[in-house]
Amino acid sequence: MATGDVTLPTMHPVMGFELGTARAGIKVAGRIDLVVMALREGATFAALYTQNTFCAAPVVIAKAAQEHCAPRYLVVNTGNANAGTGSRGLEDATQTCSTLAALTGVEVNAVLPFSTGVIGEYLPMDRLLGGLPAAVEALDVSGWNDAALGIMTTDTRPKGASVKVPMPFSKDSSGASEATISTADLTLTGIAKGSGMIKPNMATMLSFIATDAKIDDELLHRALRLAVDKSFNRITVDGDTSTNDSLVLVATGRGEVVIDEGNFDQFLAHLTAICGDLARACIRDGEGAEKFVSIVVESAASDEEALATAYTVAESPLVKTAVGASDPNWGRILAAVGRAPIANLDISRVEISLNSVDIVRAGQRSADYTEQAGVDAMQAEDIEIRIGLGRGGHSETVWTTDLGYGYVRINAEYRT
């Protein structure tokens, strides 16, 4: 099951960034499961990785390689996470990089590996390496759609976001004392995969975003951190942080737009929107999901308090199962708020609504609430739980799913 629109948007090519895929048979014969991405020389690069201590071998290799040189190729396999695989896993990830480096004529540290799938199993190296030439041969700036398919695991559909928008920027006016302001199209395109084991705490399981803007490393990293904090760091399916979470942002510099302090906020807004679309697409495709749930916490004493409260509600199995059954059991929401880490909460100031139906006012059931109104509100595919704490001016939103039989079945049968 999944919620919302199932179609990919128009995926605008990003000049200087190519994607190629192959059917290597890593786990399932006949499906796209190997993706190679090529960055033009001189592109800037930023990445965030999982904070799980048991990070996968490709994460270890990718983080180390970035310290040596600018990446030129990314290689992604699905079906096998190459996590919990010890020294052999590191050797397999390194061999993958060295083989692709030999095929493309770059040094081994210029290739970064990424994997997703089952934890604790070794990569089928003969099949993976055998698929690399075909993926390289298929490299194309229009390869986004196939790449979105190629990084899926338990996902039921590919996830992508793309925008091409006019962007003002400062342009050097050939020796003039002041730069002039010009406008040109900015392209931002990205894909993601993620359906279960989702509480990123940095990014989703795998996501790759590219832009044709010219932007230096410091600004690119700053933009990525800020965008992720309001998107991928605001989603949860099951509260589990993956061993393989990786988010990559590439700026090829092949477009006209130059990002500097003057237009950084506008660039950040577009990047945050792309990240938000991708993050919410992961929630809409959460394992077994039949509901898309927004938890909005308002009038908190701090952002941290609002976020902690939102996550307490979003990750409550009792709240999530009630949502899955379309049961307006608002007492479960109230109880979750009451156990959130809030010092000296005055319950007489707490307010809760469900899809605009007032259910709690002054810490108790709203005088005009009816069970039928709650039942009607819960029938919607998109559910908004809005919580007012009455403590200050801070607010945060977390997106999550319901919890039903589909999630249990998928994860009970994942290895079989």
Residue ranges of the chain with per-residue pLDDT less than 70: 1, 172-179, 197-198, 200-204, 414-416
How does strand 292-300 pair with strand 382-388?
parallel
Q: Is the same domain home to 57 and 148?
A: yes
Q: Where does a domain end: 236, 258, 284?
A: 284
Instruction: Look up the pTM and report it.
Output: 0.92
Give the CATH number of the domain where residue 332 resides.
3.10.20.340
Tokens of 234: 């605001």
Answer whether 307's CB lies under 8 Å from 18's CB.
Answer: no
List the one residue out of 256, 251, 190, 212 whose CA is nearest residue 45: 251
**Residue 176 confidence (pLDDT):** 47
Q: Is 4 a domain residue?
A: no
166 and 41 housed in the same domain: yes
Q: What is the pLDDT at residue 354?
A: 95
Q: Which two tokens stand for residue 1?
A: 């099951």
Locate 143 and state its tokens.
Answer: 């390869």
pLDDT, tens only, 371-394: 999 999 999 999 999 999 999 999
Are residue 72 and residue 161 in the same domain, yes or no? yes
Inside any domain, residue 269: yes
- 369 is in which domain, residue-wise? 292-412
Tell me the C-alpha distance between 376 and 109, whole Å: 57
Six-digit token string for 189: 């395109």
Whether 10 is in a domain gets the answer no
From the list 257, 248, 254, 250, the residue with the least C-alpha distance to 186 is 257
Cβ–Cβ < 8 Å for 214, 266: no
Locus of tokens 């307490």: 312
Exposure string over 189-207, b if 16+ CB within 10 A, otherwise e: bbbbbbbbbbbbebbbbbb
Q: Which of 284, 300, 318 is the last residue of a domain?
A: 284
Q: What is the pLDDT of residue 178?
A: 64
Residue where a domain stops, chosen among 233, 266, 284: 284
Question: Which residue is listed with tokens 């199932």?
Answer: 6
Specify the number of domains making up the chain.
2
Neighbouring residues of 176: CB distance < 8 A, sequence distance ≥ 6 = none
Three-state DSSP at 360 gives strand
Q: Does 270 share its domain with 326? A: no
Residue 9 lies in a domain: no
Q: Is residue 223 part of a domain?
A: yes
Task: Indicate if 204 belongs to the active site.
Answer: yes
Task: Return d(Cα 371, Cα 350) in angstroms, integer.
Answer: 20
* Cα distance between residue 120 and residue 50, in whole Å: 17
Q: Residue 279 belongs to a domain with what CATH number?
A: 3.60.70.12
- Cα separation, 25 vs 30, in Å, equals 6
259 with 390, same domain: the answer is: no
Judgement on whether residues 248 and 296 belong to the same structural domain of the protein: no
> Which of 3, 78, 94, 204 does the annotation list as catalytic?
204
Residues 308 and 269 in one domain: no
